[in-house]
Amino acid sequence: MVDDSVRALARVQLARHVDATRLSAWRDSAGPGEKDALDFLMAWLSSSDLAAWRAGQLIPDLRLALSTRRDAPWHDQIDEATFLTYVLPPRSAQEPIQPWRQRLHDLLWDRVKDKTLHEAALEVNRFCREHATFIPPPRAPGSPPTMDRGVGRCERRRFLLRGGAQRGFRPACLHHGGPPPTTTMPGSKCFTGDGWHYLGACEPADDLDQAWFTGPARRAGLVLSVAYGEARDPNERGLRAKKRVRP
């Protein structure tokens, strides 16, 4: 997954980082897994994040993601490419980049650590509904205050759900369909070992693939999924992938 082209891009990006000296020194003493994770993150980090995602936040966040991966009872169901693309990234779209992994990990880990990936996905969604409900724009606050304020519009709730899944070490990504209004379907997908399944953000259901937009999704002319870097999941089919897209 972290091939020579990604490492070359990571070196260029690292030289541009606001904490390049500190991160380079840390990388020199890091283990192979930490180096791969840092290189993958750095290769695709946006220009704004190169200035905002400081070393004092990036390194602990990366280490926690790796340690949670080791501790998770279902870590062998998630390969390296899936982990790097859907668990490790610090954010999913245009929400502010902030060190939320530790907070959400602490809140969620005891609730999901003994469950299957399938059960854990449902539990994360229940957790998110406990902490946030829907409020229409323009009164909806941005993310990450969605969890603290308890309300957010569709996109912000998706950020919360995906963040909760990642911080509990479950691969997840955002998806939406269009055109609006009849086929708009804001939601998220999660990986459960046997493939990808969808669910409504902060909208618990008895099982996966039972969201309110199941019917409207069949009328969607286009369904978009967001991934960090270059998604290489052979189970994900699409018309095209846009490379080097910066949030």
Coil, strand, or helix at residue 201? coil
Residue 103: pLDDT band with limits 50, 70, 90 = confident
Q: Which tokens is 57 given?
A: 């936040």
Are 113 and 106 in contact by the 8 Å Cβ rule? The answer is no
Per-residue pLDDT of 154-196, as tens digits, reads 555 555 556 656 655 556 665 544 444 444 455 678 888 888 8
**pLDDT greater than 90 at residue 29:** yes
pLDDT on residue 187: 64
Per-residue pLDDT of 216-242, as tens digits, reads 777 766 666 777 887 665 555 544 455
Average model confidence (pLDDT) for the chain?
77
Q: How far apart are CA 3 and CA 146, in angstroms?
A: 37
More confident residue, 169 or 92: 92
Q: What share of the chain is helix, strand, coil (3-state, %, to 5)?
A: 50, 10, 40
What domains are there in the chain, each with its CATH number?
4-225 (3.10.620)
pLDDT on residue 65: 92
pLDDT on residue 169: 53
Q: How far apart are CA 167 and CA 102, in angstroms?
A: 7
DSSP state string for 134-170: E--TTS---SSHHHHHTEE-HHHHHHHHHHHHHHTT-
**pLDDT greater than 50 at residue 43:** yes
pLDDT on residue 159: 58
pLDDT on residue 199: 83
Tell me the pTM. Answer: 0.79
